[in-house]
Structure 1
Amino acid sequence: MSWIFGRSKPQDTGMPMEGGEPGSGPTAGTISNDQGLTKAEKKAMEAYRFDSSALERAAEAAKTLEKSRHAKEALDLSKMQESTRQSEYMAKVKEYEAHIEQAKVEQRRIDHEERRKTLIEETKQQQQRAQYQDQLARRRYDDQLAQQQKAQEENLKKQEESVARQEAMRRQTIEHEIEMKEKNRLKILEHELRAKAKIDRENRDLTLEQIRLRAQENRTTVLEGIKTAGSVLGAGAEAMLTDWDKVLKAVGGLSLLALGIYSAKGATGVTARYVEARIGKPTLVGETSRFALLDAIKHPFQYLKKLRSKPSDALQGVILNPKLEERLRDIAIATKNTRINRGLYRNILMYGPPGTGKTMFSKRLANHSGMDYAIMSGGDVAPMGKDAVTAIHKVFDWAKTSRRGLILFVDEADAFLRKRSSERISEELRSALNAFLYRTSEQNPKFMLVLASNTPEQFDYALNDRLDEMVEFTLPGLEERERLVRLYFDKFVLQPATEGAKRFKLEQFDYGATCSKIAKICEGMSGREISKLGVSWQASVYASEDGILREKMVIDRAYEAAHQHKQKMAWLSEEERLDHKSITGGIAKPST
């Protein structure tokens, strides 16, 4: 049984095998027969050879084992080994099955992970596809807006060209009519002169005779008048000189007459100035909240309403940058307390682009402080010439008579308060500037001076010394523009629509989002331009067929206003370049 355990090989007994001598047999015969074959053929034959000696040795070992006394123990041991190998084999089979199940679970996990990644990738692809479609829609919308704007610009250009052609034709027609009228007038005049000359030639002798007769009569009349006057004056002088009482009476009467004329002239001037200061207003003042006696008589209800009015917020209806609003509120509070305590008012300069709320704040400041306001334009001073100095003195004399205090707002102050060393200022304007500086040399408890200018760098240095505080008004930012758009949309659109105005209806759309979009479109525009945009919305409603304001109309008007603003800025830049060329070329433009 040694072949079963693999411990030893069966021993060679040296006995002869079937078929011949030991060592002889099929193998020996095969070897002898294989001598004539090649090596490749020999190797091929080795696979088909069968060695029976091993079986014989195994059979011999089995016989020996059966005869042994340990045969039963060896058989039991062999069975136990076989059972052990079977158990190990079953354990390996179960382990292999467990590996297979684990592999299946892992495969299911991998499949689930792949499906999850696939879903994530599909979601990402869908998002990218949606974003791409949104971008395409935005591009199409932008292209549509660009095409609409281009079409509007082309239509506007065509309209401008048509208007220019019509204006040129009208101008040519007017010039032609004027030329024809002038020719006809000259022909008529020439005909009249020729006719008159012909009549004069025909009546020359008669005319000369009439002239001689009139001259002779005039000479005779003059001589007789001289003689009569001399005799009368001589008799009167002789009578007066001979009577001294008459001489004294005549001298006293003439003296009293001269004194009465002089006193009446002075009293008339004083009365006129008092009436002008109390009842009327100076010529330079264009607008004022101060009611005079004549205004109270003409508008009694407004005068009573003003007396009953209460001070309001200085920034009511004024939308500015938060920091600027905070500073202006401090100025308003300080001005109000100055009036209450009868202190000295501070002079303020407000500078910045036009339409940013300088004039509006001045009016609100006067109402908040309980004061009167008066608005004068610097451009009105230059046309007055030599009378400008007198007019300025009248303005300050009138301002001192206000019992409530007066805020004197000078708009476009750089028009006549520019540097005295400038070559563009005339002698009259220089005198007016000196008068203004004289009247503002000291702070006054009666009036407060507020100047407004777009170019403060042109002010005379002496005027800068009169200013106590300078406030810059800038163009509204995005948040301020949105507040302004909402304010004027409510004022010019929502209120008329809700109050039931005739031919004024409003389409339902997102007003807040539309106002936010319009605020972005109106970049660079001032508050006045945005208020005009609100008026243009009303005009769109009144010009429409059905009287309905739609969102597209609102947006189109905003784009049109933005385009007009850019065009104005382009014109302004061109004008500045022309001014620069004219100054450098030695051509001084007249002051405005």
Structure 2
Amino acid sequence: MQEQTKQKEIQAQIEKTVTDRQSLAAQKAQIEGEERRKTIQEQSEQARRMAEYQAKLDAELSQKKAQDQLRQNEEFLRQQHEQFMRQESMRKKTDMEIEDARRKTLAEQARIAKETEVARVKAEAEGRTQQERANVDIRLQEMRAKMSEKRQTRLDTLNTTLSSLGSGFSNLMGDKQRLSALVLATTGVFVGLFAAKQGTRVTATLIERSLGKPPLVRETSRWTFAPSRWFQSIFKKEDPKLFEKIVLEETLSERLQWTTNSLVNARKNKTPFRHLLLYGPPGTGKTLFARTLARQSGLDYAIMTGGDVGPLGKDAVDELNKLFKWASGRKNGMILFIDEADAFLRQGRGLAPGASGGMSEDMRNVLSAFLHHTGTESNRIMVVLATNCRDVLDRAVLDRMDEEFEFPRPGLEQRRQMLNMFMKEHITERMAVDPDVVDAKYIEEIAVKTEGFSGRQMSKLVLAFQSAVYGSGAKGLTKGMAETVLNWKLEHFEMDQKHSTLVGQ
């Protein structure tokens, strides 16, 4: 019994031992599994860290490679740009050298062509001139013969008259009573004529000073007490086609016509006049337009020159005030045309009197007086300024101007119109003319050759044609004579242009 109990205890211990062993084995397996899991996890973590580190190294390496590549690319681009700029600079230099050579070649060709043309024209002109001189010599011989005959006839007539007077004088000297009466009568007549002439002159001068035009006015259409101008104003005939005598570019002519119509309507409606600025080279029609504007609108006009203001010194302000007071006294209105306005209305008020471009105190006062008179609108006075250079005028003066018109040198079409107009006025209606001179083709040729001429120079050219005919005693204008005068004028024009260029430099 005890033996069985002991065996059971032993059996229980064995079973317990087995159970403990199994439990230990299970625990050992669990621990080993946990260790393996931790080992695997640690290995995974190390692998992950290694992968991250490797990725970081790879990224840094890639970034460094990219930066190196970028620097290499930038350096390459910089070198390419520098090479391109060097090539472009060389190309531009080469192009400039080629262009300069081309210009020199063209200039040389133009010079040679011009010299050739000048030589040809001179040769033709010399031939025509020699022919004209031969004709002139023949006409001079004829004129000398006629004048000699006339002189002899006049001498014979004079001798006969003097003989008659001598016999009458001898008879008069023999009668002392008649001689005394004649001397007294002659003396009385001369004294009376002298007294009347001097009295009229003094009276007219006094009236002119008190009631006539101011000293600054060079020309006016307004009636004054001067007898000569009074008779001229009575018997002078107005030309109804004055505007047709102004040859201008079409757009400018249209604007000026609108301005004239606006002035006429302003005068009718008693509205303020608009001040005008006319600028451009000399001889382009500025003064002629001012006169025409006054006559077309029915206003009087007065013309003064800016160069007359400076010599007046301190009296300039008083004279300018008198001028505006006199001009505003006309109820119907007056156009005050100031030529060479830049002489006293130029810039320079802000500079010291002694500085370059500065104005004297007297000129500053005159400018201030002008600005005072033109500062407000008026239906009595319309100021028209004319200048060769607009930019030299004071800014305040430009601000007073309501309209500005540039009068350029006439173009080809305008020169052609001027030639036709002046030829008709001064040549064809006054003398015989070679048909070749007034031929449209020759007029076109003259218009082309006179490029750069002003309207005044075109008029003087035609007047030179007329003067050549009268001076040579020819019966009419021939093409050879016209060509000779034209060449003289062209040479004179070229000399003026060269002189202007030298002065400008």
TM-score range, shorter chain: 0.5 to 0.7
Q: Is the 8 A contact 1:316 1:364 kept in 2?
A: no
* Equivalent of 1:421 in 340, 346, 350: 350
**1:507, distance to aligned residue in structure 2 (A):** 2.5
CA distance in 2: counterparts of 1:558 and 1:410, whole angstroms: 33
Whether 1:320 and 2:244 are equivalent positions in the alignment is no
1:287-310 Cα shifts (integer Å, max 9, x gaps): 111112x13x4455433346xx67
Partner residue, 2:434 = 507
Whether 1:530 and 2:458 are equivalent positions in the alignment is yes
Q: Is the 8 A contact 1:406 1:447 kept in 2?
A: yes
CA distance in 1: counterparts of 2:409 and 2:390, whole angstroms: 17
Gap change, CA 1:549 and 1:140, over 3 Å in 2 = farther
Rg larger in structure = 1
Q: Is the 8 A contact 1:518 1:555 kept in 2?
A: no
Partner residue, 2:90 = none
**1:570, distance to aligned residue in structure 2 (A):** 1.3
> What letter matches 1:522 in structure 2?
T
Partner residue, 1:290 = 222
CA distance in 1: counterparts of 2:115 and 2:439, whole angstroms: 21
Identity of aligned residues (%): 37
Structure 1: runs of 5 or more not aligned: 1-138, 154-273, 498-504, 578-592
**1:574, distance to aligned residue in structure 2 (A):** 1.2
> What letter matches 1:412 in structure 2?
E
* Equivalent of 2:234 in 291, 301, 304: 304
Partner residue, 1:437 = 371
Gap change, CA 1:396 and 1:564, over 3 Å in 2 = same
* Equivalent of 1:468 in 374, 382, 402: 402
**1:460, distance to aligned residue in structure 2 (A):** 1.0
> What letter matches 2:272 in structure 1?
L
TM-score of the two chains, using structure 2 as the length reference:
0.57
Gap change, CA 1:421 and 1:314, over 3 Å in 2 = farther
**1:454, distance to aligned residue in structure 2 (A):** 0.7
Q: Is the 8 A contact 1:506 1:550 kept in 2?
A: yes
Q: Which runs of 4+ in 1 moved over 6 A?
A: 139-142, 150-153, 274-278
* Equivalent of 2:280 in 352, 362, 383: 352
Q: Is the 8 A contact 1:492 1:538 kept in 2?
A: yes
Partner residue, 2:418 = 484
Q: Is the 8 A contact 1:540 1:553 kept in 2?
A: yes
Partner residue, 1:453 = 387
**1:549, distance to aligned residue in structure 2 (A):** 1.6
**1:145, distance to aligned residue in structure 2 (A):** 5.2
- Aligned-partner SS, 1:518: helix
Gap change, CA 1:143 and 1:342, over 3 Å in 2 = same
**1:545, distance to aligned residue in structure 2 (A):** 4.9
1:361-395 Cα shifts (integer Å, max 9, x gaps): 00000000000000000011111100000000000
Structure 2: runs of 5 or more not aligned: 1-111, 127-205
> What letter matches 1:341 in structure 2?
N
Gap change, CA 1:513 and 1:279, over 3 Å in 2 = same
**Paired residues for 1:391-410 under 5 Å:** 391-410=319-338
**1:332, distance to aligned residue in structure 2 (A):** 0.3
CA distance in 1: counterparts of 2:421 and 2:266, whole angstroms: 32
Whether 1:149 and 2:122 are equivalent positions in the alignment is yes
Q: Is the 8 A contact 2:125 2:484 kept in 1?
A: no
1:4-59 Cα shifts (integer Å, max 9, x gaps): xxxxxxxxxxxxxxxxxxxxxxxxxxxxxxxxxxxxxxxxxxxxxxxxxxxxxxxx
**1:491, distance to aligned residue in structure 2 (A):** 1.3
**1:431, distance to aligned residue in structure 2 (A):** 1.0
**Paired residues for 1:111-510 under 5 Å:** 143=116, 146-149=119-122, 279-292=211-224, 294-295=225-226, 297-305=227-235, 312=240, 315-419=243-347, 420-422=349-351, 423=355, 424=357, 425-497=359-431, 505-509=432-436
CA distance in 1: counterparts of 2:216 and 2:443, whole angstroms: 41
Gap change, CA 1:388 and 1:531, over 3 Å in 2 = same
**1:429, distance to aligned residue in structure 2 (A):** 0.8
TM-score of the two chains, using structure 1 as the length reference:
0.49
Gap change, CA 1:300 and 1:459, over 3 Å in 2 = closer
Q: Is the 8 A contact 1:311 1:368 kept in 2?
A: no
Aligned residues: 308
CA distance in 2: counterparts of 1:527 and 1:281, whole angstroms: 30
Q: Is the 8 A contact 1:311 1:369 kept in 2?
A: no
1:413-459 Cα shifts (integer Å, max 9, x gaps): 00100111243321111111111111111111101000001111111
Gap change, CA 1:140 and 1:333, over 3 Å in 2 = closer
1:232-270 Cα shifts (integer Å, max 9, x gaps): xxxxxxxxxxxxxxxxxxxxxxxxxxxxxxxxxxxxxxx
> What letter matches 2:433 in structure 1?
L
**1:547, distance to aligned residue in structure 2 (A):** 3.6
Q: Is the 8 A contact 2:309 2:316 kept in 1?
A: yes
> What letter matches 1:518 in structure 2?
I
> What letter matches 1:487 in structure 2?
M
Gap change, CA 1:539 and 1:298, over 3 Å in 2 = closer
**1:143, distance to aligned residue in structure 2 (A):** 4.9
Partner residue, 1:567 = 495
**Paired residues for 1:33-44 under 5 Å:** none
> What letter matches 1:410 in structure 2?
I
RMSD after superposition: 2.7
